[in-house]
Chains A and B, each alone.
Chain A
Amino acid sequence: GDSVTQTEGLVTLTEGLPVMLNCTYQTIYSNPFLFWYVQHLNESPRLLLKSFTDNKRTEHQGFHATLHKSSSSFHLQKSSAQLSDSALYYCALSDRDSGYNKLTFGKGTVLLVSP
């Protein structure tokens, strides 16, 4: 079946340093749809980024990611971490050709930004 693999566990950064959270996926879909969701403590997942276009950078709120079908990757990046970026980040996958966006989530990566 489909699977999403993320940077495991906890990533700790000092404010101002760049952020890189890895996401790779395995799927039989020829047209995968990739998402990043962010979840703050005691809140629900909130959409951060999405893309189904190969090799095209997508950006939102200072974060960016590029879907690379050749390497099955959709890494999340930000040039300079802020304290408010501390949260749980999920990468998720769906099949765009199915007509539904049922999501397969990775296990999540906790990002902790310190002063």
Chain B
Amino acid sequence: EAGVTQSPRYAVLQEGQAVSFWCDPISGHDTLYWYQQPRDQGPQLLVYFRDEAVIDNSQLPSDRFSAVRPKGTNSTLKIQSAKQGDTATYLCASSRDKNNQAPLFGEGTRLSVL
């Protein structure tokens, strides 16, 4: 079974630039989570979906961050105008929560904003 796939693996930006992260969850997983993991900190939830619906995006900095999952499969997380404080690893996880499964994580995208 293929795992959660994320791309790109790395991104380096100047402040003010835009960037998109892409996530392909495990087939059959209806729930998808995006986490931000700053260096030397634990992952922090940004947004999550059940199928194509956003369940909770209250932790997403809405003025610059957006996330979509239009067909209930792949998802894209976008930062419109990156800031140095956005430097972190962005992790995507998926699960079938109804079956008491634990979220499984992708390899992440490591973002550096200069």
Contact = CB atoms under 8 A, between A and B. Distances in A.
Interface stretch (B11-19, B37-45, B62-70, B75-83): B37-45
Interface residues of A, number: 22
Contacts of A33: 100
Chain A contact surface mostly: loop
Interface string A11-42: 00000000000000000000001010100000
What bracket does the count of chain B residues touching chain A fall in? 20 to 34
Contacts of B108: 44
A102 B33 contact: yes
Given A44-B107, A45-B91, A103 B43 contact: yes
B43 A105 contact: yes
Interface of B: 31, 33, 35, 41-45, 48, 50, 55-56, 91, 95, 97-98, 100-108
Interface of A: 33, 35, 37, 43-47, 50, 52, 90, 96, 99-108
Given A47-B104, A103-B45, 19 more contacts: A35-B102, A37-B105, A43-B107, A44-B91, A44-B105, A44-B106, A44-B108, A45-B43, A90-B42, A96-B100, A99-B98, A101-B102, A101-B103, A103-B33, A103-B35, A103-B43, A107-B42, A108-B41, A108-B42
